[in-house]
């Protein structure tokens, strides 16, 4: 029927590439497997999952090569939210750049502010007053809880459970209220800035935070009852999308994705920055099945563990916050920052533990008020790069489970 027979996989790969280049990815690719092999003649399809798809968390586009329900290959295409934040960073002063960092990982904006401020302060050799440092840690941890809440809720949504999402947002709302009381904003705070915080904590804030922590801590058990140990949820996620520790390190995974693979690595503990060495907290890692309350089906590095690490991290953040409240000193919340900052001709690279992994900033000064170069390492960018490796020979439903557990924020991937 056809002239020369090429191996099916070969041909299909070529065909896919050709189609991609033509900008018509949604064309059927017919596969002609070797007849001698006697494989089922099926039609492999290329489908676009995203950039407008409910479970790709924003504008991620996954190109799936599927055979029925089976995903043979998954290629992420990113860049739909690219704003070239690094170029902006070269054109504005560090203080002006703070609002841009809000828009990277917009679910954990405080931690981005924190990281960039720390990098610039390291470049300047600036010291931040004690109270300012505590405020920063409080805000970072509170925002980590908020960010993990969104991740938890959205993951439930990916698995078809609607209610956890609303529960998560109910609690997140209180955190956002607290943030609003602090700085007036609810998503892009720009609150932590070079030298400390932009304002002091409002009166009564520590009491309200304590009130929230008392309220929030028991809720985690509720989430576990509702979702984490739900048998259907466990069946959907445990053992799905297993990433080994070696793979996780090779692909540069950080944050809950790395820890879910059983690597007990957290910058706050391993390379302590700011004042994290003053607090006592544990680093949760992925658990093998049947150990430490994990369900029997669980495997270290699977989607369930990545998800559950986030739940446990919320508890640890609550611990840190309680210690912060105990130790919170009075005094200045901000160092004296000159009106015009001249960045010295130095270079620094600094990473902090963000909501999704290690947020890194490389800042190069050359004696002017604007940096010569700002490079941002988005953790989601690195975490997402493993998707095509993991999403292979899985079902379509597993794609949602895996991508959801990797938990990317496209603002950070595309920058």
Partner 1 sequence: MNKFSAEDALRPRFTAAHKALALRGFVIAGVALLAAAVGFGFVAGVAQGVGYAAAVGGVVLAGLTGACCLLAAFVIRFAALVGRVLLTLALPIFLGGVVGIVVLAWIPALLYERVDGIKADHPGAAVSVAQFEAALTGNAAAARGPAYLAALALWPLQFQLTRDVLAVVGVVGFVSLVAMFGIWWERKVAGRMQSRLGPMRVGGWHGWAQSLADGLKLLQKEDIFIAGADRALFRLAPYVAFIPAMCLFIALPFSAAWVARDLEVGLIFIFAMLGVGVLGVLLAGWASNNKWSMLGAMREACQMISYEIPLGFALLVPIMTLGTLRLTAIGEAQSGGFHTWLAFANPFTFIAAIVFFVATLASCKRAPFDLPEAESELVAGYLTEYSGFRWALFFFAEYAEMFAVAALASVLFFGAWYSPLPASWGAAWADGPLWQRAVHGVLYSGPIWFVLKGFFFFFVQLWLRWTLPRIRLDQVMYACVQVLLPLTMVALLGNTLWLWLVRPGAWLAVAVNLILTAIGGLTVVAMAAIVLYGYLNRRRLVGTMAVDPLPGG
Partner 2 sequence: MLTIGLTHYLVLAAALLCCGLYVMTTKRNAVGILIGAELVLNAAALNLVAFARYGAGGLDGQVATLFVIVLAAAEAAIAIAIFVNYYRVLATIDADRGDTLKG
Partner 3 sequence: MTAQEVAELLIARFGTAVEAAPVEIHPGVRVTPEAWPAVARFLREEPRLSFNMLRCISGLDLHPEPQIELVYDLIAMRAPTAADGLWSNGGELAVRIRVARDGGSVPSVWDVWRAAEWHEREAYDLLGVGFDGHPDLRRILCPDDWVGHPLRKDYEFPKEYQGIPSAAAAAEGEGGCGASG
Please report, as ranges, the residues that interact with partner 2 according to CB under 8 A.
Answer: 1, 32, 35, 40-41
How many residues touch partner 1 under the rule CB under 8 A: the total is 48
Rounded Cα distance between 97 and 168, Å, is: 30
For residues 21 and 40, which CB has a smaller minimum distance to partner 2 in the complex? 40
Minimum distance of partner 1 from residue 26's CB (angstroms)? 8
Shorter beta-carbon distance to partner 1: residue 45 or 81? 45
Is 210 a residue that touches partner 1 (CB under 8 A)?
A: no
99-158: contacts with partner 3 (CB under 8 A): 122-123
Q: Calculate helix-pair angle for 205-223, 303-327, nearest 10 degrees.
A: 160
The distance of closest approach from Cβ of residue 34 to partner 2 in the complex, given in angstroms and rounded to an integer, is 13
Residue 78 makes contact with partner 3 by CB under 8 A: yes
We find the least distance from the C-beta atom of residue 215 to partner 1, in angstroms, to be 5
Q: How far is the CB of 264 from partner 3 (least distance, A)?
A: 5
Alpha-carbon separation of residue 176 from 46, 158, 351 (angstroms)? 41, 23, 25
User: Which range, of 6-14, 149-157, 166-174, 381-389, touches partner 3 by CB under 8 A?
Assistant: 381-389
Among 156, 154, 162, 292, which residue's Cα sits nearest to residue 234? 156
Cross-strand partners of 360: 351, 377
Task: Name the binder of 185 from partner 3, partner 1, partner 2, none, CB < 5-8 A by kind.
Answer: none
Q: Does 252 bind partner 3 (CB under 8 A)?
A: yes
CA distance 359 to 82: 17
Q: Which residues ranging from 23 to 42 are in contact with partner 1 (CB under 8 A)?
A: 26
Q: What is the pattern of x (binds partner 1, CB under 8 A) and - over residues 385-404?
A: ----------xxxxxx---x
* Identity of the residue, 319 or 346, whose beta carbon is nearer to partner 3 in the bound complex: 346
> How far is it, in rounded angstroms, from Cα 293 to Cα 296?
9
CB of 303 to partner 2, least distance (A): 34
Note whether 249 binds partner 3 by CB under 8 A: yes
Gap between the Cα atoms of 396 and 415, Å rounded: 28
Binding site for partner 3 (CB under 8 A): 78-79, 82, 84, 86-87, 90-91, 122-123, 247, 249-252, 263-265, 269-271, 283, 285, 346-349, 351, 358, 360, 362, 364, 372-373, 375, 377, 381-382, 384-386, 389, 414-415
């Amino acid at each position: 029927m056809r002239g020369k027979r090429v191996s099916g996989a070969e041909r299909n790969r070529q065909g896919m590439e050709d189609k991609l280049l033509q900008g018509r990815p949604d064309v059927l690719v017919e596969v002609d497997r070797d007849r001698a092999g006697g494989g089922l003649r099926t039609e492999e399809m290329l489908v676009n999952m995203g950039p407008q798809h409910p479970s790709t968390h924003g504008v991620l586009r996954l190109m799936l090569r599927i055979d029925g329900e089976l995903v043979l290959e998954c290629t992420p295409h990113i860049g739909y939210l690219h704003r070239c934040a690094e170029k902006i960073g070269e054109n504005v002063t560090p203080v002006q750049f703070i609002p841009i960092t809000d828009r990277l990982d917009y679910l954990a904006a405080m931690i981005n502010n924190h990281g960039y401020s720390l990098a610039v302060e390291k470049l300047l050799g600036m010291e931040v007053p004690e109270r300012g440092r505590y405020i920063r840690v409080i805000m970072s941890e509170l925002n980590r809880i908020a960010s993990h809440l969104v991740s938890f809720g959205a993951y439930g949504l990916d698995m078809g459970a609607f209610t956890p999402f609303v529960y998560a947002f109910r609690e997140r709302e209180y955190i956002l209220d607290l943030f609003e009381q602090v700085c007036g904003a609810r998503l892009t705070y720009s609150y932590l800035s070079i030298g400390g915080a932009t304002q002091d904590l409002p009166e009564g804030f520590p009491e309200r935070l304590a009130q929230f922590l008392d309220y929030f801590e028991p809720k985690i058990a509720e989430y576990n009852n509702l979702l984490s140990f739900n048998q259907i949820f466990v069946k959907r996620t445990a053992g799905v999308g297993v990433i080994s520790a070696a793979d996780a390190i090779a692909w540069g995974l950080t944050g809950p994705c790395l820890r879910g693979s059983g690597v007990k690595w957290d910058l706050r503990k391993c390379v302590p920055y700011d004042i994290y060495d003053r607090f006592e907290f544990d680093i949760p890692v992925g658990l093998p099945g049947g150990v430490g309350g994990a369900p029997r089906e669980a495997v270290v590095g699977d989607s369930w563990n990545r998800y559950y690490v986030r739940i446990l991290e919320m508890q640890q953040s609550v611990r840190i916050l309680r210690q912060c409240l105990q130790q919170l000193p009075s005094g200045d919340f901000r160092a004296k920052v000159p009106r015009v900052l001249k960045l010295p001709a130095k270079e620094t690279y600094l990473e902090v533990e963000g909501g999704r992994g290690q947020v890194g900033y490389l800042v190069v000064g050359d004696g002017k008020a604007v940096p010569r170069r700002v490079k941002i390492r988005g953790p989601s960018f690195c975490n997402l790069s493993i998707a095509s490796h993991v999403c292979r020979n899985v079902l379509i439903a597993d794609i949602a489970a895996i991508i959801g557990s990797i938990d990317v924020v496209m603002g950070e991937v595309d920058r």
